[in-house]
Amino acid sequence: MTLKEKRKELEEKLEKLEQLRDRQLLIYTGARRNREMLTDMCEEKRGVYETDMARRDQRNLDDNHMSRRGRG
């Protein structure tokens, strides 16, 4: 095998590897975007849940205060 043939073979192999890398990068980018979207959704739901729990706790405190005040 001559040097030119070997060089051509290596260049073709390099091109295939670069194409594979580009495909993997697209897959990685899509997966990362999906993970970020799920993380954002989870954080949003957690915020809604925590707000709801805080309201519920405050309502219980208010109810307890009003019932004690009504008895006194």
Residue carrying the six token digits 């997966």:
31
Tokens for 43? 């954080």
What is the pTM (predicted TM-score) of this model?
A: 0.62
Half-sphere exposure of 61 (CA within 13 A, CB side): 6
pLDDT at 55 over 80: yes
Own/partner contacts of 58-61, CB < 8 Å, gap of 24 or more, are: none
pLDDT tens sequence across 21-44: 999 999 999 999 999 999 999 999
- pLDDT, position 46: 97
